[in-house]
Chain A
Amino acid sequence: MVASTTTSAQAGRGGEDWSFRAEGVTKVYGGTLRANDQITLSVQPGEVYGLLGPNGAGKSTLVKQVIGLLKPTEGQIRLGPFDLVADPGAARQLCSYLPQAPVPIDSFKVREVIELTGRIRGGDRAAVRQRTSQLIEALDIGEWATTMGQRLSGGIKRLVGFSMVTVWPGRVVILDEPTNDVDPLRRRLLWEQIRLLGRQGCAVFLVTHNVMEAEKSVDRLAIIADGRLIAEGTPSSLKAADRGHLRLQVMLAPGARTPELPSWVRSHARAGHNLIAAIEEADAAQGIGWAAGLIGDGVAEEYALGATTLEDVYIRLTGHVSADDED
């Protein structure tokens, strides 16, 4: 491991292009299950890139191959001059990874564990200490700075995990559902820090199934379903195909079954009590009438008609809603 890193370290100096490129990445389990299927994408330094897709779509499998925890069955993953598949030691040094699962910090104090991780990641003591203070202040977790991890709530632990990963970040930062359990106020602070990572030149991979949040924060995104990359672009470009469409959201009464949908509904999905349907602008009046009728019949309680969002694109492409309570 040391020897391979030495070779790569020599190659990594100078003013190379540090773009990230995955080409034809395929991961097959047990000879048949294609968790990733010919995924090709590239991310530039400074970009916040969303990887969206339903649970089990293959997002985590992809990022685990980037960080060197899994080996692709086929394909290449490169970061600047480095072949991350051939050199997982370099992958670990060049990429920072916050997994979806909790970080193991029960026995550590918050400031201590952030600083230790920064030192493991190669930052010098003074700079890591300074950056730790900045993160603790920016994420508003100062009151827990000397608290042991076992006493923290899930949301604060998540923020500490984010700080551990980004206190001395790699050129690629992979964040798998970073906002899970985080309260709305600090969630906003977290997004500011994620954008700051981009401004500092990191390529940020944001793995999420929360499309609404991602839409506001990513520069570009890929939608992955059944292991395949089914769409890629900026949020605006992905929504372009849905121009001229509207989003009709109907809140169904508790216990109500999904009503029969009129033929002019282009696509739909249900999440909890919410029925989300995409309709043509020209069908707006019919849509309002239909939703009002559902309320009149006691099937629904309220409705809203608005412009399409990235989530509508996501629903159309994957057949899933991004929220956790998807039915």
Chain B
Amino acid sequence: MTELTWARVTPRAGLPYWLHSYRILVRWHLAGLRLWLTLLASIQILAGAGFVLGIALFFRHIPAIAALFVATGVPVINLVMVGLILGPQLVADQKLQQSYDFIRALPALQTAAACAWYTVCLLAGIPAVVISLVIAEARYGISFAVSPAILPAVLLTAFTGTMIGYALGHAVPNPMATRLTTQLLIFAIFGYTPILFPARQLPGWLATVDWWLPFGHMAVIVRAGLTDGLVTGVATSYAIVAVWGAIGIAVSAWALGRRG
């Protein structure tokens, strides 16, 4: 038998270890999603295209501003779908199937694991974003004013969505509660947050609630990168989305660091 360095393991540390963990975990997550990738890509594209085209079914003549809001809101849904909705459901499944302990016992740095998952969520969202925008441009003749600001907007929106989902998956002890919460999130995001329409169309109290939540602000910062002069208060929106991302990190770190 070849001489191996088994049983002489010593703990690794430092940046090379972090980068190694990150690289392998990206591969781990991509392979782990293999069964779902086709379905996931289809749902992402159908959801994006569905919203963009579906709005035409409600109106005989679509107001240009309504088409623009929908076209620039759909990317947010594409960007948070995997991290915010699918991610916690996958963790809930691991808990239900009792394989969560195995995953937690793997010697991967938690920060590298979270970054690897974020990368996968981002990769899963971007193609659908592009397709949704192309469809919107073709269907409604919208000319997007794409600026470099779209880059931080996309990165931060996906990051905050992923981290909130990460926190939901790891911090909520009951997997059924996690699943119900994600269902509620889908319902709330699609119908009652100002992603696909302006906040002023909401009742005052709901607009106030939404102001404290990240989803409407995600739409603001993405819109700011795709249009010119459509949205205001962009800096505040960046700050609120970033704070929610930080909350997601803090809650995840607490949940993953806790030992019963």
Contacts and interface: CB of A to CB of B under 8 A. Distances in A.
Interface of A: 1-2, 5-6, 8-9, 12-13, 45, 64, 67-71, 82, 88-90, 92-99, 101-104, 106-109, 112-113, 116-117, 119-122, 127, 130-131, 134, 148, 150, 161, 168-171, 197, 200-202
Contacts of A45: 7
12 contacts: A5-B13, A6-B14, A12-B10, A90-B11, A93-B9, A93-B11, A104-B99, A107-B32, A113-B31, A148-B35, A170-B9, A197-B6
Contacts, number: 145
Nearest to B18: A2
- List 10 tightest A-B contacts by C-beta distance, closest first: A101-B98, A201-B7, A104-B99, A71-B259, A6-B13, A93-B107, A97-B105, A92-B107, A12-B10, A93-B11
B103 interface: yes
Contacts of B104: 69
B105 A89 contact: no
B235 interface: no
Contacts of B12: 5, 9, 93, 122
A228 B128 CA distance: 57
A200 B21 CA distance: 26
B102 A97 contact: yes
B139 to A, nearest CB: 35
Interface in B105-162: 105-111
A118 to B, nearest CB: 10
Chain B interface category by residue count: 35 or more
Q: Is the interface of A mostly helix, strand, loop or mixed?
A: mixed
B8 interface: yes
A202 B7 contact: yes
Contacts of A92: 105-107
B184 interface: no
A180 B97 CA distance: 16
B34 A103 contact: no
A107 B97 CA distance: 14
Interface string B20-46: 110011011001111110000000000
B4 to A, nearest CB: 6
A101 B102 contact: yes
B2 interface: yes
Interface in B226-260: 257, 259-260
B101 A64 contact: yes
A1 B8 CA distance: 22
Contact of B28 (A13, A95, A120, A201): A120
B182 to A, nearest CB: 19
B32 A171 contact: no
Contacts of B11: 5, 8-9, 12, 82, 89-90, 93-94
Contacts of A127: 2, 4-5
Contact of A103 (B14, B18, B102, B108): B102
Contact of A104 (B36, B97, B107, B259): B97
- Interface core residue of B9, B25, B34, B104 (most chain A CB under 10 Å): B9
Given A116-B31, A120-B108, A2 B8 contact: no
Contacts of A1: 109-111, 257
Given A71-B260, A168-B6, A107 B33 contact: yes
